[in-house]
Structure 1
């Protein structure tokens, strides 16, 4: 609980600093925003280790193929990286670049999920025969 309070306080401080620097150069604000986002992302990734351990435990108990866990974790990584990157692009005024990043992330998720879709289709096909 305390981590989120610290992260939110840091984000608010960074936002106020960006507002304060609004009269200065755009590049300094962009750099401040990018560094602040990276710090928050690293702090968040720190918290993910407990979640990943719990998900791994659930997969072990369920007997599901460990490949699905790998796909799930990669998908989570794609979502975080895409969201981070598109947010920074939007903040720097590059909304078209941000949107293309989101499209690339969605495409990467579909490509990542194709083996699971293939398995699902084969399973459904075997049920129908």
Structure 2
């Protein structure tokens, strides 16, 4: 993934959106399309990151595979929430964007609870 190309694409897309700003529907569609292209480009590089994480968790770390699943789900929640709230903000719906962020934080906490339970169990074992 070449971040310079992605950033240049984002800047050009933003300038194009400002150019057609008098027609909000075209600007919104352009923003959605550019965001989708950037998201897909970033998602394509995730396979290498996931392979490295598997190596860290399983080969070197010897940890429970559930932890990696929780981490990947949390990462996905963060990306999707950020993407959705950004689109809401661009559409002028800041309240909806904030509610989306709140829902994302709640979902993140919910999937992290098993990890927290495990951590509390380890601390209890160490203290006894």
Q: Which residue of 1 aligns with 2:50?
A: 52
Tell me the distance in 1 between the aligned counterparts of 2:119 and 2:4.
41
Post-superposition Cα deviations, 1:42-93, rounded to whole Å, max 9, x if no partner, equal: 0001111111110110111210000000000000000000000000100110
Q: Give matches, 1:36-47, under 5 Å.
A: 36-47=34-45
Tell me the distance in 2 between the aligned counterparts of 1:10 and 1:26.
20
SS state at 2:21 partner: helix
Q: Which residue of 2 aligns with 1:62?
A: 61
By how many angstroms is 1:111 displaced?
A: 0.2
By how many angstroms is 1:20 displaced?
A: 0.7
Q: How many residues align?
A: 127
By how many angstroms is 1:12 displaced?
A: 1.1
TM superposition score normalised by structure 1: 0.95
The two structures, once aligned, show a CA RMSD in angstroms of: 0.9
Tell me the distance in 2 between the aligned counterparts of 1:126 and 1:8.
48
Structure 1 runs of 4+ with >3 Å offset? none
Unpaired segments of 5 or more residues in structure 2?
none
